[in-house]
Structure 1
Amino acid sequence: MHFRPLRSLLGAVAVIWLVLAGVWVEPALAANLSVGEVSLEPCPSADIGAQPQLRRPSGASCYVLRGTVNNPGRKPVVDTDVFAQILDASGEPVLQNRSRVGSIGDVPPGDSSFALRLAIPAGTPGPFTFSNVKARGFASPVRTRAGEFDDLLPLEQAVADAQ
């Protein structure tokens, strides 16, 4: 019974020590980025993701969502995801139950081009429209970091090389 105040004091001292020692972790701050010059077009036939030999009615068609993302800040935004609502000719969502269309990695300050490969179910009636295109990233990494260009496919590599 006499040790309760001592336990409370020790607990408070431990919390203060952790904060002062720098162990306290702040949550990653999210950043919303503007996206412009958006287009959606079939993948180039030379792109390995297009897989023309695998095209059949039950498969998927390769499309590329291209655009420019603007980071108005002075620091890079990392682990950035792109969100969009893509609709077919009848106004139905092309990508059911998801608005995240892909990740574009790190975005330096200023304007940057991006390209994301999308698999759209074969037979989906076009033309396609898109809305609510936006990007969201973080001030510090939230995912395991790969080496430079480790996880880029040829389409993304071509975009990275053009920058």
Structure 2
Amino acid sequence: MAPAAPAWALDLAVSEVRLEPCPADDPGAQPELKRPSGARCYALRGTVSNPRSQPVIDADLFAVISDRSGEPVLQNRTRVGSLGDVPPGNSSFALRLAVPAGTPGPLRVSHAKARGFNAPVRVRAGSGDELLPLEQALLDPG
């Protein structure tokens, strides 16, 4: 069996990025007193653009999230989550983030970018399993 071709990293543009509290009926938006982690749920939403004619595989989203004073909210971490596969064109995304309770707002998102590959680099999910049910609910708030 021939070895697999190497996967090349590809950068994708990210736009319309916004960070907002999770909807009140979202399972991640439980009242703080019921959450042992002392965190608040936020939804990071935006659009990712794939200019290629083929999907970008296993894409991750990177960003710096800062509090009111400009301090990073996610210490030593710029990868904020996985976007999975990104089809050609523009695609909406939504990721759930846990932000430490008491973080002074408003929160600001900067340096958002996505990076994926031209071939799989992770174990593949089954058909229809690309998004977790909670992530799918964030994309379809209706």
TM-score (norm 2): 0.89
What does residue 125 of structure 1 align with?
A: 104
Q: What residue ranges of structure 2 are gaps of 5+ in the alignment?
A: none
CA RMSD of aligned residues (A): 2.0
Matching residue within 126, 136, 139 for 2:115: 136
Count of matched residue positions in the alignment of Structure 1 and Structure 2: 140
What does residue 30 of structure 1 align with?
A: 9
- % identical aligned pairs: 66
Higher strand share: 2
* Higher relative contact order, structure no. (Cα contacts within 8 Å, ≥ 6 residues apart): 2
Matching residue within 78, 99, 102 for 1:99: 78
Q: Structure 1 residue 133: deviation in Å?
A: 0.0
Contact 2:11 2:116 in 1 (8 A): yes
Higher helix share: 1
Question: Which runs of at least 4 in structure 1 moved beyond 4 Å after TM superposition?
Answer: 159-162
Counterpart of 1:34, as a letter, is A
SS at 2:10 equivalent: strand
Matching of residues 11-160 of structure 1 within 5 Å: 23-52=2-31, 54-55=34-35, 59-150=38-129, 152-158=131-137
TM-score (norm 1): 0.79
Counterpart of 2:17, as a letter, is V
